[in-house]
């Protein structure tokens, strides 16, 4: 019977792998377009000049970022090029200090410290208005104070590095992550209720 012939299964392995690779390639091309800054899911870098909120969208049935009016950080209106440079520097800070090995970004990383996806609008920091929030976050990164049971170490982050990181975190909070994290900043439901 042909199913006992290894050649049949070899052909199956090649066909299955090849087909899936082609589908993955096609989806990758589409996805990369949508995750380019300014694309459908990822805001342009100069969104750091705007206010960013997080609200429940009943049409989509999930929480989505909401980009609002002007809300500057560090007293500066960044051009697209300046914002791009600042965001790139912020990412370099995040990599140089291996933040992802304590924190998570979009839930990816280590689970020792809080998720940073929406830290910009975390209720802890959102009690400060935009410009002040950026300053407070910057000071925290430069000189971490103990906020709870899990102290953040002092990673010798300089002021310009801290500002770039804060700008990065603000930009990142504007990414549409299909509702992750759910209910961020919303009042808690009952355990059995929505």
Report the site for other proteins in 132-151 (rule: CB under 8 A).
Answer: 147-151
**61 in contact with other proteins (CB under 8 A):** no
Residue of 76, 111, 132, 159 interacting with other proteins (CB under 8 A): 111
Considering the rule CB under 8 A, would residue 129 count as an interface residue with other proteins? Answer: no
Count of residues touching other proteins (by CB under 8 A) = 90
Residues in region 78-107 near other proteins by CB under 8 A? 84, 87-102, 104-107
| C-alpha–C-alpha distance, residues 173 and 54, integer Å | 9
* Minimum gap (Å) between residue 71 Cβ and other proteins: 20
Please report, as residue ranges, which positions from 15 to 54 form the binding site for other proteins (by CB under 8 A). Answer: 15-17, 20-21, 23-24, 27, 30-32, 34-37, 40-42
Q: Cβ of residue 160: shortest distance to other proteins, in angstroms?
A: 9
CA separation (Å) from 7 to 2, 4, 180, 193?
A: 9, 9, 45, 55
Q: Give CA separation, 73 vs 48, 70, 84, 132, 175, in Å.
A: 7, 10, 15, 8, 18
Quote the strand ranges of the chain, DSSP E.
50-57, 62-70, 104-105, 108-109
């Amino acid at each position: 019977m042909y199913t006992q012939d290894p050649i049949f299964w070899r052909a199956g392995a090649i066909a299955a792998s090849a087909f899936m690779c082609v589908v993955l390639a096609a989806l990758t091309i589409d996805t990369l377009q949508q995750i380019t800054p300014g694309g459908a899911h990822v805001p342009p870098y100069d969104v750091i000049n705007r206010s960013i909120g997080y609200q429940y969208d009943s049409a989509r049935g999930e929480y989505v970022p909401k980009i609002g009016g002007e809300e500057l950080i560090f007293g500066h209106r960044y051009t697209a090029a300046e914002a791009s440079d600042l965001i790139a520097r912020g990412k370099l800070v995040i990599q140089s200090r291996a933040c992802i090995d304590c924190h998570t970004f979009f839930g990816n990383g280590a689970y020792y410290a809080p998720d940073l996806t929406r830290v910009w609008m975390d209720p802890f920091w959102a009690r400060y208005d935009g410009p002040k929030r950026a300053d407070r976050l910057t000071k925290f990164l430069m000189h971490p104070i103990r906020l709870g049971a899990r102290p953040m170490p002092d990673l010798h982050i300089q002021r310009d590095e801290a500002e770039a990181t804060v700008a990065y975190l603000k930009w990142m909070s504007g990414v549409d992550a299909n509702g992750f994290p759910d209910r961020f900043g919303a009042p808690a439901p009952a355990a059995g209720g929505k």
